[in-house]
């Protein structure tokens, strides 16, 4: 059943990567913490199932309990925040301290009998587990879980019935998530399942959270780029989705149109006939001709309001309509403020995009480093091969026979750290072996190429960057293919091997030659160069020979700078 835990971990990790792309600083911190907890816990269940010793199993169990101890708390706090209900800070502290105390009792397993009185490690086939006798802190743990769950249901029911500023769609998703959590938890005990259902709950919760995150991004009408306008109360904002449901408005808009106070989030804007009729008429005119986006309204007291209709965007995606409302007597000031708004919004988008890309790169490096840490023979390998790829690409850009785009080069450099990600599927006894592999062990090791491609494809699926996904998959899958067709895993030859994999192969082999491994000392640069050149036309693409020759000084300079790393 280890594949079951591996798939659920991959789903959790994939959801977290997608969340990293969608993240911005106005998201509730409990969302981020829950994605982190879900990944850590599912990693723990995977490690537990793959454990070979009691020590490994106990460590994995500590990972898995992080989500169990804190996940329900993060979810409850998120529900309070999304339903716009304030939980006293004292209660927040008490709940956090209680969950922390429970988790500390788990951390000290083996040194204290507070959470477990006895643990017995067992393994059948490819799956391991722990038989446990619980201590008093486990009763506290169960009481906390029950408390968080019951309070969450009560808050959701109350918000649905009473809170007009809470999204019914969001409440429904949160309610579904709570039901899924409870069903997954009790199902194993009711049906005596032979596998843990909690990792499935984490994976399903994170999928539901992605829908919640997708929706949250259009509810926040007071985003950072327009905070100053909102605070001054000059410009009003009203958001309406493509189904003509009311999404929200700020205080200034409610001052201009008091009827907005009678509307409920996620309900039709026509619930107030007067405002709904006007709004839908403006939207209809705008849809027929986008240049007809301005309308004047004669208001009480002789004021004339200017209403500007536009699309509501989430990044580059249209999500609905937004009405900008201002006093037309201050038109010039209004125009200046809008210009300022556009400038600030552009800077905010650039900053967020840069931050998301940085987080994505860190996640990739982190996953690759985690896999590398299991391999005794390749310490620092991903860092060195990534630099090797960059050096080769610097020379390739100078060669007119290669016409690679900047995007391709950037994607290949980002993909390089992931080339050995498939080693996560290789048994520790093989991966950490000190010395050369036996033939059957080598056959198992060779599977890492195909496994890595499969894992990367699953992780990056749906990230809206197909070109990066393709390059990363090809690098992992084919970097051990040989030009003469004698490589693995597919036995591709010549131009059948993607060019990105051919480049990666040179950097990979060069690093293996000039670096110390458990089964050999590092070769001199001259010896490594001799081997690489002998392989041109058989192991490596002959057309890359001159690229390698031109890159050799930079490669040797880089590896010389590393010393004995």
Cβ–Cβ under 8 Å, residues 477 and 489: yes
Q: Which residues fall within 8 angstroms of residue 348, CB to CB, at 6 or more apart?
A: 223, 224, 225
Rg (CA), the chain: 29
Say how many C-beta atoms besides its own lie within 10 A of residue 138's C-beta.
Answer: 18
Which residues in the chain land under pLDDT 70?
25-26, 188-194, 217-234, 301-302, 315-316, 329-339, 341, 353-361, 363-365, 367-379, 432, 435, 462-464, 518-519, 564-565
The CATH architecture of the domain made up of 224-344 is 2-Layer Sandwich (3.30)
Cβ–Cβ under 8 Å, residues 217 and 304: no
pTM above 0.75, yes or no: no
C-alpha 369/C-alpha 382 separation (Å) is: 8
Query: Residue holding tokens 């309990």?
Result: 65
- The CATH class of 2-216 is mainly alpha
pLDDT at 224: 46
C-alpha 508/C-alpha 479 separation (Å) is: 8
Cβ–Cβ under 8 Å, residues 432 and 374: yes
pLDDT at 220: 54
Instruction: Give the DSSP per-residue string, 370-435.
Output: HHHTT-TT-TTHHHHHHHHHHHHHHHHTT-TT----HHHHHHHHHHGGGTTGGGGGS-HHHHT-SS
Parallel/antiparallel/unpaired status of strands 317-327 and 294-298: unpaired
Query: Residue holding tokens 């209660």?
Result: 91
**E strand or H helix at 104:** helix 89-107
User: How many CA within 13 A on the CB side of residue 386?
Assistant: 20
Per CATH, the number for 373-562 is 1.10.3210.10
Cβ–Cβ under 8 Å, residues 75 and 152: yes
State pLDDT tens for residues 445-493. 888 889 888 988 887 776 667 888 899 999 999 999 999 999 999 999 9
Domain segments of the chain as ranges: 2-216, 224-344, 373-562
State pLDDT tens for residues 212-221. 888 776 655 4
C-alpha 34/C-alpha 31 separation (Å) is: 5
pLDDT at 440: 84
């Amino acid at each position: 059943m280890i594949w079951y835990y591996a798939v659920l971990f991959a789903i959790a990790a994939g959801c977290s990567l997608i969340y990293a792309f969608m993240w911005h600083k106005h998201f509730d911190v409990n969302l981020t913490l829950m994605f982190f907890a879900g990944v850590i816990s599912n990693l723990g269940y995977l490690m537990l199932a793959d454990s070979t010793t009691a020590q490994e199993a106990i460590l994995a169990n500590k990972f898995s309990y992080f989500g169990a101890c804190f996940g329900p708390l993060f979810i409850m706090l998120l529900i309070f925040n999304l339903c716009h209900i304030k939980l006293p800070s004292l209660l927040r502290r008490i709940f956090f301290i209680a969950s922390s105390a429970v988790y500390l009792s788990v951390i000290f397993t083996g040194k204290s009998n507070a959470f477990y009185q006895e643990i017995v490690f067992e393994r059948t086939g490819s799956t391991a587990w722990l038989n446990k006798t619980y201590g008093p802190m486990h009763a506290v743990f169960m009481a906390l879980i029950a408390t968080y769950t019951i309070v969450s249901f009560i808050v959701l029911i109350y918000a649905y019935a009473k809170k007009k500023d809470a999204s019914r769609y969001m409440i429904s998703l949160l309610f579904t998530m709570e039901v899924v959590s409870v069903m997954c938890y009790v199902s194993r005990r009711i049906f005596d399942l032979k596998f843990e259902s909690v990792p499935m709950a984490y994976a399903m919760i994170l999928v539901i959270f992605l829908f919640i995150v997708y929706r949250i991004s259009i509810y926040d009408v007071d985003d950072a780029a327009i905070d100053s306008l909102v605070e001054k109360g000059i410009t009003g904002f009203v958001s309406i989705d493509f189904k003509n449901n009311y999404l929200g408005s700020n205080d200034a808009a409610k001052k201009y149109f008091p009827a907005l106070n009678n509307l409920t989030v996620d309900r039709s804007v026509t619930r107030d006939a007067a405002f709904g009729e006007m709004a839908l008429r403006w939207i209809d005119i705008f849809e027929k001709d986008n240049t007809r986006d301005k309308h004047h309204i004669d208001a009480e007291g002789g004021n004339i309001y200017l209403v500007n209709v536009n699309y509501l965007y989430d990044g580059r995606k249209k999500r609905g309509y937004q009405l900008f409302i201002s006093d037309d007597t201050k038109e010039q000031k209004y125009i200046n403020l809008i210009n300022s708004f556009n400038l600030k919004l552009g800077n905010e988008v650039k900053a967020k995009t840069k931050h998301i890309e940085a987080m994505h790169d860190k996640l990739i490096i982190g996953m690759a480093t985690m896999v590398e840490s299991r391999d005794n023979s390749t310490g620092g390998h991903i860092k060195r091969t990534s630099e090797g790829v960059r050096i080769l690409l610097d020379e390739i850009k100078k060669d007119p026979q290669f016409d690679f785009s900047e995007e391709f080069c950037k994607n290949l450099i980002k993909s390089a750290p992931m080339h050995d990600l498939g080693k996560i599927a290789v048994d520790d006894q093989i991966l950490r072996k000190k010395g050369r592999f036996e033939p059957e062990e080598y056959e198992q090791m060779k599977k890492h190429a195909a496994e890595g491609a499969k894992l990367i494809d699953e992780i990056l699926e749906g990230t809206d960057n197909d070109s990066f996904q393709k390059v990363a998959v090809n690098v992992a899958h084919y970097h051990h293919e040989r030009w003469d067709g004698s490589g693995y895993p597919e036995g591709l030859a010549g131009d059948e091997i993607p060019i990105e994999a051919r480049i990666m192969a040179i950097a990979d082999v060069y690093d293996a030659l000039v670096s110390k491994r458990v089964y050999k000392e590092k070769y001199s640069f001259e010896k490594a160069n001799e081997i690489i050149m002998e392989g041109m036309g058989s192991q490596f693409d002959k057309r890359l020979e001159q690229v390698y020759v031109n890159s050799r000084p930079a490669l040797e300079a880089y590896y010389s700078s590393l010393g004995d790393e």
